[in-house]
Chain A
């Protein structure tokens, strides 16, 4: 009997120590990234005031605000999402619903999507620079910036949507099959609503990736600081503003940190907004 008891409390001891290890690791590893964020917050907070959000940048960004950048950045994001969401979801449906079951081709599509998701963003910048700016003649504009960004995040979005579609319960498909529901009706009324929350999360991930992107937009969307008055005008995104202030403009650090804080808050708000609206679908 003795050995069994000791074996039992041995498991208890291991369990106890593991709990301590996991708790300490979880809290301590968060210290470093949080110290980075707080460092940025301290530097940027002094520079952050209401006028920072309402005025346009002055003296190449050192003073003034970033209001015009909100407009151009959101336009870039809208162009990107307007392309990525419809095409992403329909392609994910094509792959998941095995519309034309040709396994070899589908396998190759999935592999190339994964490889493309790993391609460094600077190559998408150059691709956009040559294809959208030169060949399609869109020049340095919000449109070519948004489209190149779309090419970059599309593979990631398709893979995320596909995983979500796979997790949709099989019982819905069985019921629809038995009731002889049309494939379109099944997709629109049953399949998509059941994975709406997952797709919402995918949209949030893609938006986060698009907002954090610098290399792509440098070559395509350009650097203009003023309000864009059409999609063919060049516009600067928040992350490029941070990059430019930090890398090219002497004395740009406080403004860069303030812009970084605004970008964080934007990420948090967008995250909550999309999650909330998809849950209520």
Chain B
């Protein structure tokens, strides 16, 4: 571990702290998503301000995951999926072909429901994507690895197991490793698809604290069906509902407005089940 100590001293503090450029602003304008001609998301308009957590809540099957997957064009992998409408990141529409997938995926990081680290060592899980993106020097990669592991609070837990397989870590550690892996590419927008649904409460709490710390560097859009979690950590909440098979945004505003003085009746009924 001595090589890590040596690098920290030579690096000036300021450079170490500046993680990525300014957080992105996201604006979705009447987005519709069709799976094999079946309308799943119906004209959704939504926006997320920089350095804030937007929670997308709603019952399962209301299209919230489809909305999230459209932002970084992940649903392109599904054969017969068609997306219409506009998604602007820093006021550039990403759904057009001119906007290269490479640029989009560098700006937007994504974390999935069940942790999916690569079948490699913990160190490689973070360094391999960096190397693949062309970060040639080994030292820079290790510095950035040290940064994101520290930032996600994983460094103390894994510093002497860097070369062990990532699959040996616990569920919570694996999910935080996936977050660290996404952060290593310095995204401006971080998408999370029900990140804690497969984790125990203690690991979930660690992730929630981490997300609130990350607000300072990156905009976060999180899909969750855990309303209490949305209430705890999100600045703004968008409620999604399914009307005869296709999802629409019923309401989107500050967390306390949505939970205490909901504008739409559907939100009120949906939240009435919440124990506060």
Binding site for B on A (CB under 8 A): 169, 171-182, 185, 189-190, 193-194
B105 lies within 8 A of chain A by Cβ: yes
List, sorted by A's number, 20 A–B pairs whose CB atoms are closer than 8 Å.
A169-B116, A171-B112, A171-B116, A172-B116, A172-B118, A172-B119, A174-B77, A175-B118, A175-B181, A176-B118, A177-B74, A178-B74, A178-B182, A179-B181, A179-B182, A180-B105, A180-B106, A185-B131, A189-B132, A193-B120
B37 lies within 8 A of chain A by Cβ: no
A113 to chain B, nearest CB (A): 24
Residue of B102, B119, B124, B182 with most partner-chain A CB within 10 A:
B119
The answer to whether A178 and B119 touch across the interface, beta carbons within 8 angstroms, is no
The answer to whether A178 and B105 touch across the interface, beta carbons within 8 angstroms, is yes
Query: What 7 A-B pairs come out closest when comparing CB atoms?
Result: A180-B105, A171-B116, A178-B110, A185-B132, A175-B116, A179-B129, A194-B119
B271 lies within 8 A of chain A by Cβ: no
Complex: A177 Cα to B101 Cα, angstroms: 10
B117 neighbours in A (Cβ, 8 Å): 175
B212 to chain A, nearest CB (A): 22
The answer to whether B178 and A175 touch across the interface, beta carbons within 8 angstroms, is yes
**SS class, residues of chain A in contact with chain B:** helix
Complex: A175 Cα to B106 Cα, angstroms: 13
The answer to whether B116 and A179 touch across the interface, beta carbons within 8 angstroms, is no
A178 neighbours in B (Cβ, 8 Å): 72, 74, 105, 109-110, 112, 182
Complex: A15 Cα to B116 Cα, angstroms: 40
A194 neighbours in B (Cβ, 8 Å): 119
B128 lies within 8 A of chain A by Cβ: yes
Complex: A189 Cα to B132 Cα, angstroms: 10
A181 neighbours in B (Cβ, 8 Å): 128-129, 132
B148 to chain A, nearest CB (A): 13
Complex: A136 Cα to B105 Cα, angstroms: 51
B120 neighbours in A (Cβ, 8 Å): 189-190, 193
B129 neighbours in A (Cβ, 8 Å): 179, 181
- Other than the known A172-B116, A174-B116, A175-B118, what 13 A-B pairs have Cβ atoms closer than 8 Å? A171-B114, A172-B119, A175-B112, A175-B116, A175-B117, A178-B182, A179-B109, A180-B105, A180-B106, A185-B131, A189-B118, A189-B124, A190-B118
A180 neighbours in B (Cβ, 8 Å): 101-102, 105-106, 133, 185
Contacting residue for B119 out of A173, A177, A179, A193, CB 8 A: A193
A193 neighbours in B (Cβ, 8 Å): 119-120
Tally of contacts, chain A with chain B, CB under 8 A:
59
B105 neighbours in A (Cβ, 8 Å): 177-180
Complex: A190 Cα to B101 Cα, angstroms: 21
Complex: A96 Cα to B276 Cα, angstroms: 50
A189 to chain B, nearest CB (A): 6
Near A by CB (< 8 A), chain B positions 94-121 give 101-102, 105-106, 109-110, 112, 114, 116-120
The answer to whether A174 and B74 touch across the interface, beta carbons within 8 angstroms, is yes
B174 to chain A, nearest CB (A): 11
Complex: A5 Cα to B105 Cα, angstroms: 61
Contacting residue for B112 out of A174, A185, A189, CB 8 A: A174
Complex: A173 Cα to B77 Cα, angstroms: 10
B132 neighbours in A (Cβ, 8 Å): 181-182, 185, 189
Complex: A173 Cα to B116 Cα, angstroms: 10
Could you mark each residue 109-150 of chain B with 1 if its beta carbon is under 8 Å from any beta carbon of chain A, else 0?
110101011111000100011011100000000000000000
Which residue of chain A lies nearest to B178 when distances are taken between CB atoms in the complex?
A175
Complex: A172 Cα to B128 Cα, angstroms: 14
A211 to chain B, nearest CB (A): 31
Residue of B72, B112, B118 with most partner-chain A CB within 10 A:
B118
B114 neighbours in A (Cβ, 8 Å): 171
Residue of A169, A172, A178, A190 with most partner-chain B CB within 10 A:
A178
The answer to whether A185 and B128 touch across the interface, beta carbons within 8 angstroms, is yes
B112 neighbours in A (Cβ, 8 Å): 171, 174-175, 178
Complex: A177 Cα to B102 Cα, angstroms: 10
